[in-house]
Amino acid sequence: MNLLETDSAALLAAVRRVLIAKGVLTDAEIADRIAKTEQASPALGARMVAKGWLEPDYRALLLEDGTKAAETLGIMIRGAPPLGVLENTPLVHNLVVCTLCSCYPRAVLGYPPFWFKSAAYRARAVRDPRGVLAEWGTLLPDNVRVRVVDSTADYRWMVLPQRPAGTEGWDEAQLAAIVREGDMIGVTVPDGARLREKTLYPER
């Protein structure tokens, strides 16, 4: 541990002691929050997406108030910036980037991947979004508009991707299993064929 990390740890411990001493939080509440933060992962966001695909009322809530939609599933957003959800359609594809640093909806997607924080992604997603998408294998028709949305310290964003064809009759768990982190950032799109192959040919 270097000097900067030591100083940061000492400062964090001091703030924690003050919060507990003033009765703002208890030690148990802080520990619980840390545990929930560590448990956050793309699986939470995937569950929200799958539920949105299946339930029109929940989809409407997702698009109106992402924070409330997350909290109805027991995902704690309190203390974090508001969550907005962007819907991909046949004519609009959303791509999320944080141009200044690495603002990310950690409560529903976990820690940001290394490439999301890279200067190359942050710059190129704005200048050449179709080129970035192509590198991920996401090739969009010319009539689809790519909308780049900046995630900031004041507002976080995630994408509600389009439900892939061929997934009719699937339940929430099956649908959530095909939703990847990249699908909820917008660099990739869900592929129902991946899970169909696994179901039909489990030995692969």
Q: Which residues are catalytic?
A: 98, 101-103
Residue 7: both structure tokens together:
């100083």
Give yes or no for a contact between 136 and 187, defined as CB atoms under 8 angstroms apart: yes
Question: To which H or E segment does residue 133 belong?
Answer: helix 129-135
Residue 27: both structure tokens together:
């030690």
Residue 54: both structure tokens together:
């299946």
Give yes or no for a contact between 104 and 45, defined as CB atoms under 8 angstroms apart: no
Distance from the first to the final alpha carbon of the chain? 43
Closest by Cα among 72, 204, 71, 90 to 142: 90
Q: How far apart are CA 195 and CA 202, in angstroms?
A: 10
Residue 197: both structure tokens together:
């192959």
Closest by Cα among 165, 168, 166, 191 to 180: 191
Give yes or no for a contact between 175 and 103, defined as CB atoms under 8 angstroms apart: no
Q: How far apart are CA 15 and CA 29, in angstroms?
A: 14
